[in-house]
């Protein structure tokens, strides 16, 4: 007898799994569990439109609360899963409630990496509450110090600068968004931020932070009215590890996103999965990865096993530049720039051993879409 | 408070009334209208809020911007002359009574 599906985590991947199961015609019980108290919402705007004040809280919700009732989705909020019993196929929640399942989907996401705190905590940016708190801090601030030069730090910097704040970015790496983009794109965005009046300091690993300050390696203390830290995330794997599932930099899965227990899947940010574009196991933090993982697993649970093999894509918006990336960044041995970087509309094609590996498009959506198709393996 | 009618691929119709300034995608999602997925939450990144706009209303809409036009190449159902992405269509009183049809599939 089918005891239903329990999905742990109601972020993009968890929500999409529930939605896709119903779309696939799955009629069994579905429970969607989350430790936050909000109806599932989209995170990308938290560092963009919501921070700038151009999106409302309601507009972030994937679906209104009634939708979950209509679709017979048991939305369990404010009640994190604390333990999986694989033998009995149950999961225990903090409240003491116990849910049974035939398939369990771990969509546990990730939590922010923190810096040593030297007093009151600075802002971090992961949840709705984080974004709301940063937004309210910023409204009374004249200056922002963003620690971290990845997508989150730079998007927050751009949003604050657009509101007229004085903005400074301090990053530990040698170039902007170094993990995700080519050196050409790093340099172009560096110039973009400087042109807009953002001060950038690289190769500087901040040692500690407070609500309004950061300590640099040489002991210098930098201050600002608001400090936000965006230095990456750590996958939430404790639940899986406690249940003796394989965990190594994420919850390890096969190409069907099955963990080492075939009745338990992992999707989204937490899943260390075989990715044909990475040529091995990898973990990817993106909307595309979360949504496509979810669809594959929903299909498999509904009786139509589906391997995951979608082209990865990403986007970020900073000032007037919309950067779209297709494929996974690697150290390229050949790059080709098409279009006009001066005018802010161009694409960078990166090759390795003669093969196109990833394409970055700035304000050139058609080139990005073409690239997604071009890269399909 | 413009009203909008969604016709599903199988011909069922739903009419909802929303505030001006809401997109056709948001109006569908908030009112539980099926057939619109909107994976990316309205960022014009996923082409899963594809609709066919009743030709009578097409001329009242702003033409598709470059990013919408590009994304329409990725729709799961056939792109037609009246294909648009609902997340890019902001409802105003001038669009009162607009009718859109949702495609057979979105992904």
pLDDT tens digits for range A189-248: 999 999 999 999 999 999 999 999 999 999 999 999 999 999 999 999 999 999 999 999
Could you tell me if residue A306 is inside a domain?
no
Give the integer Cα–Cα distance in Å for B22 and A360: 31
Chosen domain end from A202, A229, A256: A229
Is residue B83 domain-resident?
yes
On whether residue A247 sits in a domain, the answer given is: yes
pLDDT in tens, A114-157: 999 999 999 999 999 999 999 999 999 999 999 999 999 999 99
Q: Assess whether A13 and A93 both reside in one domain.
A: yes
Q: How far is CA A157 from CA A344, B32, B36, B37, in A?
A: 19, 36, 33, 31
The conformation of residue A332, written as its DSSP 8-state character, comes to: -
Q: What is the CATH number of the domain that holds A350?
A: 3.30.390.30
Residues 6+ apart with CB under 8 A from A240: A84, A106, A108, A247, A251, A259, A264, A266, A270
Tell me: do A199 and A223 sit in the same domain.
yes
Distance CA A327, CA A181 (A): 10
Do A91 and A239 belong together in one domain? Answer: yes
Minimum-distance CB partner of B26 among A19, A59, A324: A59
User: Is residue A38 a contact partner of residue A77, using CB atoms and an 8 Å limit?
Assistant: yes
pLDDT band, residue A275 (cuts 50/70/90): very high
B31 interaction partners in chain A (CB closer than 8 Å): 64
Helix axes A12-23, A287-301, angle to 10 degrees: 40
Supply the pLDDT for residue A223: 97
Computed on alpha carbons and rounded to an integer, the radius of gyration of chain B in Å comes to 12
Q: How confident is the model at residue B34 (pLDDT cuts 50, 70, 90)?
A: confident
A29: exposed, middle or buried (C-beta count within 10 Å: 0-12, 13-18, 19+)? middle
Chain B residues in contact with A370 by the CB 8 A cut-off are 73
- Residues A67, A179 contacting (CB under 8 angstroms): no
Which residue among A19, A62, A365 sits closest to B70, beta carbon to beta carbon? A365
**Closest-CA residue to A49 (of A317, A322, A324):** A317
Both A128 and A223 in one domain: the answer is yes
Task: Answer yes or no: is B106 within a domain.
Answer: no
Asked whether A149 and A202 are in contact (CB, 8 A), the reply is: yes
Q: Do A178 and A217 lie in a common domain?
A: yes
If one counts the domains in chain B, the total is 1
Q: What value does the mean pLDDT take over residues A293-306?
A: 97
Residue A169: pLDDT over 90: yes
CB proximity list for B101: less than 8 A, separation 6 or greater: B6, B7, B8, B9, B51, B52, B54
User: Could you give the CA distance from residue A39 to residue A139 in angstroms, rounded to a whole number?
Assistant: 26
Residue A120, beta-bridge partner list:
none
Whether the CB-CB separation of A204 and A169 falls below 8 Å is answered with no
Residues A13 and A31 in one domain: yes
> Which of A262, A324, A272 is CA-nearest to residue A293?
A272
Domain containing residue A365: 320-374
Provide CB contacts within 8 A for A348, sequence distance 6+. A182, A184, A185, A335, A336, A337, A359, A360, A361
CB-neighbour burial class of residue A315 (10 A; exposed 0-12, middle 13-18, buried 19+):
buried
| Domain shared by A238 and A100, yes or no | yes
Domain extent, residue B25, equals 3-101
CA distance B22 to chain A (A): 9
Q: How many domains does chain A have?
A: 3
A161 touches chain B (CB under 8 A): no
Sheet harboring B98-101: ordered strands across?
B13-17, B3-7, B98-101, B50-53, B83-85
CA closest to B74 among chain A residues = A369
* Residue A175 reports pLDDT greater than 90: yes
Here the tokens at position A39 are 């109806």
Choose among A139, A176, A132, A123: nearest CA to A154: A176
Name the residue of chain A whose CA is nearest to B40's CA: A287
Cβ contacts of A315 on chain B, cutoff 8 Å: 43, 45
Domain with residue A122: its CATH number is 3.50.50.60
Mark out chain B residues that contact chain A at CB-CB < 8 A: 26, 29-32, 37-43, 45-46, 66-67, 69-71, 73-74, 107
Mean pLDDT score, B24-45: 88
Q: What are the tokens at A155?
A: 């998007």
> Which among A61, A70, A315 is the nearest to B32, CB-wise?
A70
Q: What residues 45-104 of chain A have any CB closer than 8 A to a CB of chain B?
A: 45, 58-64, 66-67, 70
Residue B76 belongs to a domain: yes
- With 0-12 / 13-18 / 19 or more C-beta atoms within 10 angstroms meaning exposed / middle / buried, residue A187 is middle
Residues A206 and A130 in one domain: yes
Residues A224 and A128 in one domain: yes
Judgement on whether residues A154 and A218 belong to the same structural domain of the protein: yes
Sequential DSSP letters for A22-46: HHTT--S-EEEE-SSSS--B-SGGG
Q: Please provide the DSSP assignment of chain B as one string.
A: --EEEEE-TTS-EEEEE--TT-BHHHHHHHTT-TT---TTSSSS-S--SEEEEPHHHHTTSPPPPHHHHHHGGG-SSPP-TTEEEGGG-B--GGGTTEEEE--S---
Chain B interface disruption, residue of A40, A291, A306, most B CBs within 10 A: A291
Domain-ending residue, one of A242, A266, A301? A301
End-of-domain residue from the set A178, A212, A229: A229
- The model carries a pTM of 0.94
CATH number of the domain that residue B10 is part of: 3.10.20.30
Query: Looking at the DSSP assignment, which residues form a beta bridge with residue A169?
Result: A146, A200
| pLDDT tens-place string over residues A4-33 | 999 999 999 999 999 999 989 999 999 999
Euclidean distance between CA atoms A249 and B71, whole angstroms? 34
**Do A32 and A67 fall into the same domain?**
yes
Which residue is closest to A42 within chain B, CA to CA? B41
**A225 and A118, same structural domain?**
yes
């Amino acid at each position: 007898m089918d005891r239903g599906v329990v999905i742990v985590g109601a972020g993009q991947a968890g929500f999409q799994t529930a939605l896709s199961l119903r779309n696939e015609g799955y009629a069994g019980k579905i429970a969607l569990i989350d430790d936050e108290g909000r109806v599932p919402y989209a995170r990308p705007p938290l560092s963009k439109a919501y921070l700038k004040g151009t999106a409302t809280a309601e507009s972030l919700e994937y679906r209104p609360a009634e939708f979950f009732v209509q679709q017979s989705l048991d939305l369990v909020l404010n009640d994190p899963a604390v333990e999986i019993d694989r033998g009995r196929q149950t999961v225990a929640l903090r409240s003491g409630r116990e849910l049974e399942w035939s398939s369990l989907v771990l969509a546990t996401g990730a939590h922010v990496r923190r810096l040593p705190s030297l007093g009151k905590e600075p802002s971090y940016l992961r949840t709705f509450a984080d974004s709301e708190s940063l937004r309210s801090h910023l409204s009374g601030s004249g200056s922002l110090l963003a620690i971290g030069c990845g997508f989150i730090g730079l998007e927050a910097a751009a949003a604050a600068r657009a509101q007229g704040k004085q903005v400074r970015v301090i990053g530990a790496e040698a170039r902007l968004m170094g993990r995700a983009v080519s050196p050409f794109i790093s340099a172009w965005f560096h110039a973009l931020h400087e042109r807009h009046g953002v001060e950038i300091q690289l190769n500087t690993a901040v040692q500690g932070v407070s609500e309004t300050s950061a300590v640099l390696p040489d002991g210098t203390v930098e201050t600002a009215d608001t400090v936000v830290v965006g230095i990456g995330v750590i996958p939430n794997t404790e639940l899986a590890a406690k249940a003796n599932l394989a965990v190594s930099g994420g919850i390890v899965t096969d190409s069907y996103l099955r963990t080492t227990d075939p009745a338990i899947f992992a999707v989204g940010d937490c899943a260390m999965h075989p990715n044909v574009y990475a040529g091995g196991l990898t973990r990817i933090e993106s909307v595309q990865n979360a949504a496509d993982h979810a669809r594959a697993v929903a299909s498999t649970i509904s009786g139509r096993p589906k391997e995951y093999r979608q082209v990865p894509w990403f986007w970020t918006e900073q000032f007037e530049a919309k950067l779209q990336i297709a494929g996974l960044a690697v150290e390229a041995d050949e790059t080709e720039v098409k279009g006009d970087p001066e005018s802010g509309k161009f694409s960078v094609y990166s090759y390795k051993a003669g093969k196109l590996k990833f394409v970055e498009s700035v304000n050139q959506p058609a080139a990005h879409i073409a690239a997604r198709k071009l890269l399909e393996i | 408070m413009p009203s909008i009618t969604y016709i599903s691929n199988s011909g069922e119709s739903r009419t909802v009334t929303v505030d001006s300034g809401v997109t056709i995608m948001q109006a569908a999602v908030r009112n539980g209208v099926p057939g619109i997925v909107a994976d990316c939450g309205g960022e014009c990144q996923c082409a899963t809020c594809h609709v066919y706009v009743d030709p009578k209303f097409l001329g009242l809409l702003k033409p598709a911007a470059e990013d919408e036009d590009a994304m329409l190449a990725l729709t799961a159902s056939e792109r037609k002359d009246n294909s648009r992405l609902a997340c890019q269509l902001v409802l105003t009183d001038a669009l009162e009574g607009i009718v859109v049809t949702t495609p057979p599939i979105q992904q």
